[in-house]
Structure 1
Amino acid sequence: MAFKSGDQVEVCSKEDGFLGSYYTATVVSQIGTSSYAVQYKNLVEEDECTPLTEVVKADELRPMPPKPPFVSSFCYLDMVDAFDNDGWWVGKITRKKGCNYYVYFDTTRDEIAYHVSRLRFHQDWFNGNWIITSKKGVV
Structure 2
Amino acid sequence: MPFKHKEMVEICKKREGFSADAYYLQATFLSPMPPESSSRRCLVQHHTLLKEDEAAAAAAVATQSKYGCKVGPVEEELVRPIPPRELALPFRSNYAVLQKVDAYDNGAWWVGRVLGENDDGCYYVVRLDIDGFDVSVPFFLLRNHLQWRDGEWFHPPPSRRYVPAD
The TM-score bracket by the shorter chain reads: 0.7 to 0.9
- Contact 2:15–2:22 (CA under 8 A) maintained in structure 1: no
Match of 2:42 in 1: 36
Matches within 5 A, 1:5-44: 5-14=5-14, 16=16, 20-33=22-35, 34-43=40-49
- 1:125 and 2:148 are equivalent in the alignment: yes
28-37 or 118-127, which deviates more:
28-37
- Contact 1:23–1:86 (CA under 8 A) maintained in structure 2: yes
In structure 2, give the amino acid aligned to 1:96. E
TM-score, normalised with respect to structure 1: 0.82
- Mind listing any 5+ residue stretches in structure 2 that lack a counterpart? 59-63, 161-166
3-12 or 118-127, which deviates more:
3-12
Instruction: Indicate the SS of the match to 1:13.
Output: strand
Match of 2:104 in 1: 83
Would you say how many aligned residue pairs link Structure 1 and Structure 2? 134
Q: Give percent identity, aligned residues only.
A: 31
Give every structure 1 segment of 4 or more consecutive aligned residues whose post-TM-superposition deviation is greater than 4 Å: 44-47, 134-137
Matches within 5 A, 1:88-127: 88-98=109-119, 99-127=122-150
Distance 1:15 1:93, change over 3 A: closer
Give distance in 2, aligned partners of 1:3 and 1:37.
Answer: 11
Give distance in 1, aligned partners of 2:146 and 2:105.
Answer: 17
Higher share in helix: 2
Cα shift at 1:7? 2.0
Match of 1:51 in 2: 69
Give distance in 2, aligned partners of 1:107 and 1:14.
Answer: 8
Bigger Rg, which one? 2
Higher share in strand: 1
Match of 2:91 in 1: 71
- Contact 1:101–1:113 (CA under 8 A) maintained in structure 2: yes
Give distance in 2, aligned partners of 1:41 and 1:71.
Answer: 27
TM-score, normalised with respect to structure 2: 0.70
Cα shift at 1:70? 4.5
Instruction: Indicate the SS of the match to 2:77.
Output: helix
Cα shift at 1:134? 5.9
61-70 or 94-103, which deviates more:
61-70
Distance 1:70 1:95, change over 3 A: closer
